[in-house]
């Protein structure tokens, strides 16, 4: 999770620093050889009844006031004013593309789902495996070099996933 409101009322740790420290922590865990299972990286979401809910309101977050407003509220969207759209897009890219392709246990689950999806569209097994290997290499390159701009692969996966939903 990223983007908790600062309890002291000031942003001592800018979003960029929080982002970089989290990436550094993930790299340290990956270096241990532990089978890392990252399912996603989400934007902080204030919930009623929690201590950070009131702090979020004090920091400028306008809470939903109607049931319809709450229905529009989601874990992957930009819910708080201190999270920029840039970081929301990064986190979506990590959850949809980077983490599943980094070679974790979760990537095996993702890969099996993708193979099944590729079969539905009548692509050959070898082509599906080739595409998955290419995605794994590009995700590893992006992660290693912290190159998260121009997420072409993520956009292609998003388009492909949307087409599968319509089948």
pLDDT in tens, 51-62: 888 888 888 888
**Dist CA 5 CA 58 (whole Å):** 10
pTM value surpassing 0.85: no
The verdict on residue 6 lying in a domain is: no
Answer yes or no: is 1 within a domain: no
**76/111: higher pLDDT:** 76
Does any domain span residue 9?
Answer: no
State whether residue 43 is helix, strand or coil. strand
Indicate whether 5 belongs to any domain.
no
Residue 8 lies in a domain: no
pLDDT at 44 over 60: yes
The answer to whether residue 144 is domain-embedded is yes
Provide φ and ψ at 2, rounded to 5°.
-135, 145
**Does any domain span residue 105?**
yes
List CB contacts of 129: < 8 A, sequence separation 6 or more: 115
Give the chain's mean pLDDT: 76
Domain interval for residue 26: 15-165
96-121: pLDDT as tens digits: 778 877 764 444 544 555 555 544 55
Residues 123-165 pLDDT 10s: 566 666 777 778 888 888 888 888 888 888 877 777 776 766 6
CB 46, CB 59: distance < 8 Å: no
Number of structural domains the chain divides into: 1
């Amino acid at each position: 999770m990223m983007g908790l409101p600062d309890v002291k009322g000031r942003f001592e740790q800018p979003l960029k620093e929080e982002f970089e420290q989290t990436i550094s922590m993930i790299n340290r865990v990956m270096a241990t050889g532990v089978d890392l299972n990252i399912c996603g990286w989400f934007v902080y979401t204030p919930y009623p009844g929690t201590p950070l809910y009131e702090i979020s309101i004090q920091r400028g977050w306008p809470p939903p006031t109607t049931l319809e407003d709450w229905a529009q509220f989601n874990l992957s969207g930009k819910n708080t004013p201190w999270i920029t759209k840039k970081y929301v897009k990064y986190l979506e890219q990590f959850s949809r593309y980077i983490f599943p392709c980094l070679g974790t246990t979760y990537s095996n689950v993702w890969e099996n789902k993708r193979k099944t999806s590729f079969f539905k569209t009548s692509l050959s097994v070898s082509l599906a495996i080739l595409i998955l290997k290419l995605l794994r290499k590009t995700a590893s390159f992006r992660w290693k070099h912290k190159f998260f701009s121009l997420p072409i692969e993520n956009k292609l996966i998003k388009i492909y996933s949307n087409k599968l939903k319509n089948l």
